[in-house]
């Protein structure tokens, strides 16, 4: 049987030598650079509904610039 997620869990990640904190809570997921407050945040609703994938695809399409 799985344990209900009723409080936030925080874990440290090392991504390419940079330290990040991931917080997994009842509201959603948040990833921030260690020692900072602002970061990427996504709600579980957005993840389940597909809004997260749509947002990622939109951001990826905007990041590519056409060669001129």
* pLDDT tens digits, one per residue of 28-65: 999 999 999 898 888 888 888 877 777 777 767 776 65
Does pTM surpass 0.85? no
Pick left, alpha or beta for residue 50 (phi over 0 → left; psi -120 to 50 → alpha; otherwise beta): left
Q: Which 3-state string (H, E, C) describes 38-52?
A: CEEEEEHHHHHHCHH
SS3 content of the chain, % helix, strand, coil (to 5): 30, 35, 35
The pLDDT tens digits for 29-39 are 999 999 998 98
Residue 11 burial (10 A CB sphere; 0-12, 13-18, 19+): exposed
């Amino acid at each position: 049987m799985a344990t209900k997620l009723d409080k936030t869990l925080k874990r440290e990640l090392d991504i390419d030598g940079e330290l990040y904190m991931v917080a997994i809570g009842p509201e959603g997921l948040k990833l921030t650079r260690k020692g900072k407050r602002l970061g990427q945040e996504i709600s579980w609703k957005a993840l389940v509904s597909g809004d997260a994938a749509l947002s990622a695809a939109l951001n990826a399409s905007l990041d590519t610039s056409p060669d001129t």
